[in-house]
Structure 1
Amino acid sequence: EDGGGGGESKFPFNDLLVWTDAEVSTFAAQITLHNFSTYSKITPKEIMHYVKAKSASEKKILCPNITKVVQQFNDFSNWGTTMICKQCLSQERVSVMSTLISLLQELFSLNNLHSSLSLLSTFSSAAVARLKTSFEQIEPSKRAFLEDVKERLSHLSSYKAYRDHIHGLNPPLVPYIGVYLTDLTFVNDGNPDLLQGLINFSKCYKVARVIVEIQQYHTPYVSLTTDRLIQWALTNACFENETESENYRLSKLVEGTDPEKAIRDLIMAEKALKQKIRKMELQASLCSCGDDASGGSSNLDTSAVFSDFDLEGITSKF
């Protein structure tokens, strides 16, 4: 079914402070449908291209759906990190972290292992994992759930716990594609195509076994209703994302080991920004004066005008 018409979605994607249980449930359902839509388009031919592709650029061209699935994973994880690290107040930061764990609970219940692991990587990221004080303020039951899911979907021992978990589930579900891509890489790199000049059917069988497992999880989520506006937003980069380095910088600011240094850095940054603004205002003023002097002509060499002024010296006096 279609839950939307024209226009833009009003869903508060990047304001988790206003999310209620309804928003959490809605978003979990829509991101699951979004993930499944891309995953279900992966074909055996595309998987074979992934095995044989020699470079990332080649994989991007020959394996568009696999590339999209991987990108969705990374974007979603980074979005979660950004949502946490941008909260200046401890109470709001804890609230967002709790909301993301609630979202993880919904995703896990929908068998969306793709986005579940993506959110787990949010909490394992360097920027978030260091927020010890914030973690301590999360409800014990939610912290316990987070640890439980980490164990069930653990990557240790070649994803043994994850494999045991997914093999006990009934579709529909959205697997974590990274497990299969890792398997394919090992099969391809560890087995020659030919043995004594003959086709290595053992390698072919191992690749086929991975392909069959990927294909068996194409059962659709018939119980979930599609919201077209939210799906459009998810497809068109609705997530607010900062770079990994910026998130880490923000993390150190909001929960630093040296609060006085953090405050000093903010004051210095504000001072530098004000100085830059003053400099730009002065440059604009000089441009305006130059235009007036030339009767509005644009022939004035403003670089020559600026060279006569020590802009750094002038602005430093403000």
Structure 2
Amino acid sequence: MLFSLIAFLGLIAGLLYLATGARPLKWWRPDTLVAHDLRTLPYMLSYPFEAPDSRQNIIFDSASAAASSPSSTTPAPATQNSAGAAAAAAGGVATPPNTPPSASRAGSHAQLVSTPSSASIGTELPGIRAASLDKLVQRLTHHSISDANFAANFLMTYRAFSTPAELLEKLIHRYHVPLTPSSGRGAATYDKDFVHPIQVRVCNVVKLWVKTGYRDFVNNPTLIARLKYFVALMRRTGHEALADAVIKSFDKQAAKFAADEAAAARLAAGQVVSPASGPSSPASSQPGTPRPGTPVAGLPASAPSTPAHGSLATAVAASPAAPTSATSSPAILKTPVSRAMNAHIPSRSPSKEEIIASPIPMMPPSDLVADITSFLNKKQGSATDRMSRYTAMLCSDSLDALEIARQITLVDYELFRAVEPVECLEQAWSKKDKLTRAPNVLAFIKRFNDLSLLVVSCIVLTPDIKARALVLRKFMLIAQALRELQNFNSLVSIVAAMNSSPIHRLRKTMELVPEKVRQQFKAIEDLVGASSNYKQYRTRLHNLDPPCIPYIGVYLSDLTFIEDGNSSKVEGLTNFDKYRRVASVVREIMQYQDTRYNLVAIPAVIKLFSPDVSDELGINEDKAYENSLLCEPRAAS
């Protein structure tokens, strides 16, 4: 047994000798003695990230094919790429047609490329069209450049071609840079120009990953255990400040996740709390509405006050500290935060100067609230009587259209904010396992369909033409309010209902709606119309100030166009040009999740548009058309 162990260790030593350019490893160096123990041997036997560039592991954009990135483990000058602007069009990547560019203001995202940009720091490198995962990780943590756009695009889409566990292992492997240069360059220069920059960038990527993709670690104890190991490794190898930054980011995101889950639980329990009012607000103490849609698969219905995995700081606090590196670490990547506007506040903790009071809610009178509560709790009477009661409450002068739109928007925002980037990859919302892969996207789609169905049903199930015109007018006024609130998802839902066959044909009813209201609604139809691939809507969206709720259908169409028009592989390599385009769409979706609406919830009004009401009063399209014919029969030929 002892002989076998000695033979095995000898074999390992020989392999290490060959793998490091036939140079003896400096095991006695203080900064490597602790870090490079037997657990790190698999990482030291092979280091694929600095393999020479070839058609088998990387394909550059055609505009920069003549350029080549440094591939040696020894730092070398990179080729300057002057074709950065043209790189986005290279490689035959399909993008949605007639998509207007985003505004140049902060917070907008145009189509992003990994070629040189203002976000890049250091030497510029040619753009990547396709590459192996090792080469993508190399670019992600390159020793001479730091490209925030590339990092954001990669972390947004990596789960389409990898897994969280595989990515973390790749980053840990990348961190274990070979101890000895393969050239004659001195060890001190090698550490300063190559080893240290790579390790720092690996740490920065992990920190950014924890910040933007914390859900990857939820209910994944194995991944968290590996992260704890890596943080401890960072401490032992002289990167204490970066280790502390990762810990701080992880614990901050854990607390934020717990707060979000608690808010979702309160919403599901009917305790809707606005950001400004807090739990003690009188409005927030009323019964609310169940949260529509399906919860995130695998997550608890309510979050404990502390994360189940505990604080990351506690797990690594006992790790021995290493001497602080003499070279200071560069700044860790930051992401912009949308500013507060009008009666809204950001979802982060705002400063006193940023908090602006929420608008005073237009509370319905107590007798109307009692009627709504009775209607919802006591489901008595025929379907016709129930619809008559519902439309009477809806069209009451005591229930303002703006306040209805606010309550719709409060629930819409929570559903929209729950959408995760991974749900937008590979058309997950349309796959067989869509309920587990894209539950929040499906919940948001269901909310759209429920509202549209309810609008159609309310109109065609109102037999009296004057009462029907009042219902029609009310929904047009709600649409105007939704436009002012920048809730485009529900706005398009109402417009879709108005343009459906059962409603569009009701010309006599439409004539009873005041001309001014009809003209205003026509302007709304033009704004969100599909003409020129939603050109007007896209222009409006890219020039507004948040908060807003975009129409999810446009993004899903764009993602479908990109997915269907581009293969995921190019000559066996990951088509990163495709995922760069996907990331630009997903990032735009995510940026509108940053800023909350500062509105006071009125649960009784919220319940009027709950899934239960839609399921009870809604009718299918065929029955809706039959009722439409009863309202206004076809003219005799």
| Among candidates 24, 27, 33, match of residue 404 of structure 2 | 27
Which amino acid in 1 is paired with 2:406?
Answer: A
Distance change >3 Å, CA 111–CA 52, structure 1 → 2: closer
- Is the CA contact 2:568–2:578 (under 8 Å) kept in the aligned structure 1? yes
Tell me how far 1:238 sits from its aligned partner. 2.2
Q: Which residue of 2 aligns with 1:196?
A: 571
- Is the CA contact 2:485–2:548 (under 8 Å) kept in the aligned structure 1? yes
Q: Does 1:45 align with 2:439?
A: no
Unaligned runs of 5+ in 1: 260-318
Which structure 2 residues correspond to residues 1-318 of structure 1 after superposition, within 5 A?
1=277, 2=281, 3=283, 4-6=285-287, 10=370, 11=372, 15-17=390-392, 18-20=395-397, 22-48=399-425, 51-52=427-428, 55=431, 57-231=432-606, 234-239=609-614, 240-257=617-634
Return the alpha-carbon distance in structure 1 between the equivalents of residues 288 and 569 of structure 2.
Answer: 56
- Is the CA contact 1:76–1:119 (under 8 Å) kept in the aligned structure 2? yes
The 10-residue stretch of structure 1 (1-10 or 178-187) with the greater mean CA deviation from structure 2: 1-10
Return the alpha-carbon distance in structure 1 between the equivalents of residues 492 and 514 of structure 2.
Answer: 21
Spell out, residue by residue over 1:97-135, the C-alpha distance to the aligned partner (whole angstroms, 9 max, x if none).
Answer: 111111111111100100110000111010000001111
Spell out, residue by residue over 1:214-259, the C-alpha distance to the aligned partner (whole angstroms, 9 max, x if none).
Answer: 0010134442112344446645422321111111100000110259
Which amino acid in 1 is paired with 2:541?
Answer: I
Tell me how far 1:159 sits from its aligned partner. 1.4
Instruction: Pick the structure with more helix per residue.
Output: 1
TM-score relative to the length of structure 1 = 0.75
- Is the CA contact 1:34–1:234 (under 8 Å) kept in the aligned structure 2? no
- Is the CA contact 2:451–2:609 (under 8 Å) kept in the aligned structure 1? no
Which amino acid in 2 is paired with 1:5?
Answer: Q
- Is the CA contact 1:173–1:217 (under 8 Å) kept in the aligned structure 2? yes
Aligned residues: 257
Return the alpha-carbon distance in structure 1 between the equivalents of residues 430 and 399 of structure 2.
Answer: 45
Spell out, residue by residue over 1:169-222, the C-alpha distance to the aligned partner (whole angstroms, 9 max, x if none).
Answer: 111111110001001111111001111222211101001001100001013444
Secondary structure of 2:400's counterpart equals helix
Tell me how far 1:156 sits from its aligned partner. 1.7
Secondary structure of 1:88's counterpart equals coil
Which amino acid in 2 is paired with 1:62?
Answer: R
Q: Which residue of 1 aligns with 2:292?
A: none
Distance change >3 Å, CA 5–CA 42, structure 1 → 2: same
Return the alpha-carbon distance in structure 2 between the equivalents of residues 20 and 220 of structure 1.
Answer: 32
Tell me how far 1:31 sits from its aligned partner. 0.6
Unaligned runs of 5+ in 2: 1-276, 290-368, 377-386
- Is the CA contact 2:489–2:550 (under 8 Å) kept in the aligned structure 1? yes
Distance change >3 Å, CA 54–CA 81, structure 1 → 2: closer
Which amino acid in 1 is paired with 2:427?
Answer: V
Identity %: 27
TM-score relative to the length of structure 2 = 0.38
Give the greater-gyration-radius structure (CA): 2
Tell me how far 1:52 sits from its aligned partner. 4.8
Return the alpha-carbon distance in structure 2 between the equivalents of residues 174 and 54 of structure 1.
Answer: 22
Return the alpha-carbon distance in structure 2 between the equivalents of residues 149 and 213 of structure 1.
Answer: 23
Return the alpha-carbon distance in structure 2 between the equivalents of residues 142 and 107 of structure 1.
Answer: 14
The 10-residue stretch of structure 1 (101-110 or 20-29) with the greater mean CA deviation from structure 2: 20-29
- Is the CA contact 1:85–1:247 (under 8 Å) kept in the aligned structure 2? yes
Spell out, residue by residue over 1:81-110, the C-alpha distance to the aligned partner (whole angstroms, 9 max, x if none).
Answer: 111101111111111111111111111110
Return the alpha-carbon distance in structure 1 between the equivalents of residues 580 and 555 of structure 2.
Answer: 15
Return the alpha-carbon distance in structure 1 between the equivalents of residues 595 and 610 of structure 2.
Answer: 19
- Is the CA contact 1:152–1:162 (under 8 Å) kept in the aligned structure 2? yes
Return the alpha-carbon distance in structure 2 between the equivalents of residues 251 and 216 of structure 1.
Answer: 41
Tell me how far 1:53 sits from its aligned partner. 6.2
Distance change >3 Å, CA 53–CA 5, structure 1 → 2: closer
Spell out, residue by residue over 1:11-56, the C-alpha distance to the aligned partner (whole angstroms, 9 max, x if none).
Answer: 47962334226432221111101111000011112222x525663x
- Is the CA contact 1:28–1:103 (under 8 Å) kept in the aligned structure 2? yes
Return the alpha-carbon distance in structure 2 between the equivalents of residues 93 and 255 of structure 1.
Answer: 11
RMSD: 2.2
Return the alpha-carbon distance in structure 2 between the equivalents of residues 126 and 20 of structure 1.
Answer: 29
Secondary structure of 1:237's counterpart equals helix
Q: Which has the higher contact order (CA 8 A, sep 6+)?
A: 1
The 10-residue stretch of structure 1 (223-232 or 91-100) with the greater mean CA deviation from structure 2: 223-232
Return the alpha-carbon distance in structure 1 between the equivalents of residues 428 and 611 of structure 2.
Answer: 30
Return the alpha-carbon distance in structure 2 between the equivalents of residues 53 and 111 of structure 1.
Answer: 25
Return the alpha-carbon distance in structure 2 between the equivalents of residues 5 and 216 of structure 1.
Answer: 31
Which amino acid in 1 is paired with 2:408?
Answer: I
Return the alpha-carbon distance in structure 2 between the equivalents of residues 150 and 7 of structure 1.
Answer: 32
Secondary structure of 1:238's counterpart equals helix
Which amino acid in 2 is paired with 1:19?
Answer: S
Which amino acid in 2 is paired with 1:238?
Answer: V
Distance change >3 Å, CA 192–CA 53, structure 1 → 2: farther
